[in-house]
Structure 1
Amino acid sequence: MSAREKLKDKKRIVVKVGTSSLIHKKTGNINLFRLEKLVRSLTDLHNSGKDVILVSSGAIGVGFKALGLPKRPQSLPMKQACSAVGQGQLMMIYQKLFSEYNQGSAQILITKETMLNDERRYNAKNTFDELLKLGVIPIVNENDTVSTEEIEFGDNDTLSAVVTSVVGGDLLILLTDIDGLYTDDPHKNPQAKLISEVRVIDEKIEGMAKGAVTAVGTGGMSTKIAAANIVTDAGADMVIVNSDDLFNINRVVSGEDIGTLFLAHKRENFDFKQYLTERPYFRKG
């Protein structure tokens, strides 16, 4: 059985979607059509017998538009204010859309401090486990209203990788605005080739992470490679796939050869706290 075919057997799946995948690029307003497709895709995945967790960006992006600000804020207090407004609005939309398909959903807000503290992390895992047992899809975001520069993840690629390791996920799917990892930046080099499978993340692979940071997001390809380091060392596979078609989620789990697959390589001495306190981290060997 090929590595792709094995994805069909994954039981606990984490899906991360970025801000740029949820909004209209011209206006910055939320794209309800795309959000509905995302919800439908995740619900169908859950209906097939999978545990599903969604890590969703977008709170600050939704908040600054709701407040009538001309652009994404730069100051921490304004970001936190926008998050406080946007998180409630975003969650309200998610819950309404999920309810259309009779699918329960719940909000979980996390800080890096929560994940670094053994007791809090244990409690968070128990919450995830109970929600999944109840058939609920948890919707996770960083708690931007209280996070500061010293205790924030900074990007939801890293957050989704940590969540995957904590809940014992089998697969992390990162939705982004590019087809996967290329040998070079495809926006600048038309000869760049898509890499279908990565068995070992070495400095050569790290060097290929030249994806541009989107205008509304916080992560580029480098943060996705960092996430892959965490996930594959924790014993889970990870796929980077284009969010232009949100049903790519289902295609990945069906074993189709799309995006870039990073193969699991569980380490006996794995401790994800190392990745959060000693970044950047490079896999050796």
Structure 2
Amino acid sequence: MGKYSGSRNPVNFAKRIVVKVGTSTLTYDNGKMNLGNIDRLCRSISDLMNRGKEVLLVSSGAIGVGIGYLDLKERPTTTREKQAIASVGQCELMNAYARSFSEYSYRCGQILLTKDGITDKLTRANVTNTIETLLEMRIIPVINENDSVSTTEIMHNGTFGDNDTLSADVAVLANADLLVILSDVDGLYDANPRENPDAERISYVDKVTPEMLDFTAGKGSWLGTGGMATKITAMSKVTENGIMGVIADGAGIQVLEKIVDQDDVGTFFAAQ
């Protein structure tokens, strides 16, 4: 397999890595957990830890897993129902991570964040200290938004909006070298690959431009409705802070190992 185009230093590439995984990777359409994907993810993260990397996992899926665990026929619509289901789903999600990581002799610790964890100076320092201590102990931080209390209606500790944004904030907070966003797409394309057979994956992005942001967020754009806009915005934030980024397929075999080996998978975003 070919390498990414563009120059990168292969020596000690990406010591500290933030991995964000989406609900579509963690669950099936019926809300039940995709145990195969979860185990592959935990195995890959454990393998990176064995290489001496430091890995933080930003995980979506609390509400989705809660829906599947409670056998709900449809997604709840009220805030109070979503928050209650998130509290159930978060427990199940952490149980799955703890079981899978233990198979590879690693432990994980949960961190649930609200906006205060990033914007409030004292809380930010406490979150940073917790992350650093877990990494020093070779424990994998599993980070999610505290969906049971975070809403747009709560002004003091309101929502991040999406976990792509959260993962970018965590990467900057933790002074990471690399942010990997795993999704149900294998990178950024120049057109909709589901509709255009000639669409080509963009392997390397030297810099996120305003035109790229407008393109992915444009009204009626398949990229905007597919969630690519928030991923590109997240990549813009981290690269501006000197952090590399990759968007790749979360269901890919050994995708994290291939990224660290600098194989040409997904779309690589160069740090500025």
Fold shared per TM-score above 0.5: yes
Equivalent of 1:40, from 43, 55, 75? 43
The 1-side partners of 2:152 and 2:253 are apart by 32
Q: Which residue of 2 aligns with 1:143?
A: 146
Q: Which residue of 2 aligns with 1:110?
A: 113
Q: Which runs of 4+ in 1 moved over 3 A?
A: 1-8
Q: Which residue of 2 aligns with 1:92?
A: 95
Aligned 8 A contact 1:7 1:253 in 2: no
The 1-side partners of 2:21 and 2:140 are apart by 14
Q: Which residue of 1 aligns with 2:194?
A: 187
Equivalent of 1:131, from 99, 113, 134? 134
Q: Which residue of 2 aligns with 1:18?
A: 22
Aligned 8 A contact 2:6 2:204 in 1: no
The amino acid of 1:176's aligned partner reads: S
Equivalent of 1:211, from 197, 212, 223? 223
Q: Which residue of 2 aligns with 1:240?
A: 247
**CA shift for structure 1 position 88:** 0.7
Quickly say closer, same or farther: Cα 1:3–1:255, change in 2 above 3 A. Answer: same
The 2-side partners of 1:262 and 1:28 are apart by 31
Q: Which residue of 1 aligns with 2:172?
A: 165
Structure 2: unaligned runs, 5 residues or longer:
217-221
Quickly say closer, same or farther: Cα 1:108–1:241, change in 2 above 3 A. Answer: same
Quickly say closer, same or farther: Cα 1:212–1:69, change in 2 above 3 A. Answer: farther
Q: Which residue of 2 aligns with 1:280?
A: none
**CA shift for structure 1 position 263:** 0.8
The 2-side partners of 1:244 and 1:67 are apart by 25
After superposition, what is the alpha-carbon deviation per residue over 1:135-180, rounded to whole angstroms, capped at 9, x for unaligned? Answer: 0100010000000114101211110000000000000001011111
Q: Is the deviation greater in 192-201 or in 79-88?
A: 192-201
Q: Which residue of 2 aligns with 1:156?
A: 163
Aligned 8 A contact 1:34 1:246 in 2: no
The 2-side partners of 1:177 and 1:8 are apart by 29
> 3-state SS of the aligned residue for 1:9?
coil
Aligned 8 A contact 1:183 1:208 in 2: no
The amino acid of 2:193's aligned partner reads: P
The 2-side partners of 1:136 and 1:200 are apart by 33
**CA shift for structure 1 position 212:** 6.0
Structure 1: unaligned runs, 5 residues or longer:
215-219, 266-285
Identical positions, percent = 44
Quickly say closer, same or farther: Cα 1:212–1:246, change in 2 above 3 A. Answer: farther
Calculate the TM-score normalised by the size of structure 2: 0.90
Calculate the TM-score normalised by the size of structure 1: 0.86
Aligned 8 A contact 1:175 1:240 in 2: yes
1:62 equivalent in alignment to 2:65: yes
1:51 equivalent in alignment to 2:54: yes
The 2-side partners of 1:242 and 1:65 are apart by 23
**CA shift for structure 1 position 55:** 0.6
Aligned 8 A contact 1:8 1:255 in 2: no
> 3-state SS of the aligned residue for 2:17?
strand
Aligned 8 A contact 2:31 2:69 in 1: no
**CA shift for structure 1 position 83:** 0.5
Equivalent of 1:258, from 253, 261, 265? 265
> 3-state SS of the aligned residue for 1:3?
coil
The 1-side partners of 2:76 and 2:230 are apart by 21
CA RMSD of aligned residues (A): 1.7
Aligned 8 A contact 1:183 1:194 in 2: yes
Alignment map for 1:266-285 (pairs within 5 Å): none
